[in-house]
Amino acid sequence: MNNTKFDLTGKVAIITGGNGGLGLGIAKGLAIAGAKVAVVGRNQDKLDNAVKELEAMGADALAYPAMLAARMM
């Protein structure tokens, strides 16, 4: 899947907020560069849709539901 100027093959990228918007765009870019991606977010439905989008473009992707802000307090 890698046709970029840098190679992330064999690497794993964890993207918080990766279930939509800018985070999903970053996840897609990292996947294009060859990374396996793990998207983290609060909404399971959005996570599932993000993984479907990533897998449709050939990415190896997983979703992890989490609310990180609650753990920081």
- Assess if residue 54 is contained within a domain: yes
Query: Which CATH number covers residue 28?
Result: 3.40.50.720
- Assess if residue 24 is contained within a domain: yes
- What local confidence, expressed as pLDDT, does residue 64 receive? 95
Whose CA is closest to 51, among 62, 40, 65?
62
- What local confidence, expressed as pLDDT, does residue 68 receive? 73
- Assess if residue 1 is contained within a domain: no
Range of the domain at 37: 12-72
pLDDT tens track, the chain, 73 positions: 666 688 999 999 999 999 999 999 999 999 999 999 999 999 999 999 999 999 999 999 999 999 877 655 5
Instruction: Identify the H or E element spanning 70.
Output: helix 68-72
Domain count, the chain: 1
Q: Which amino acid is at 71?
A: R
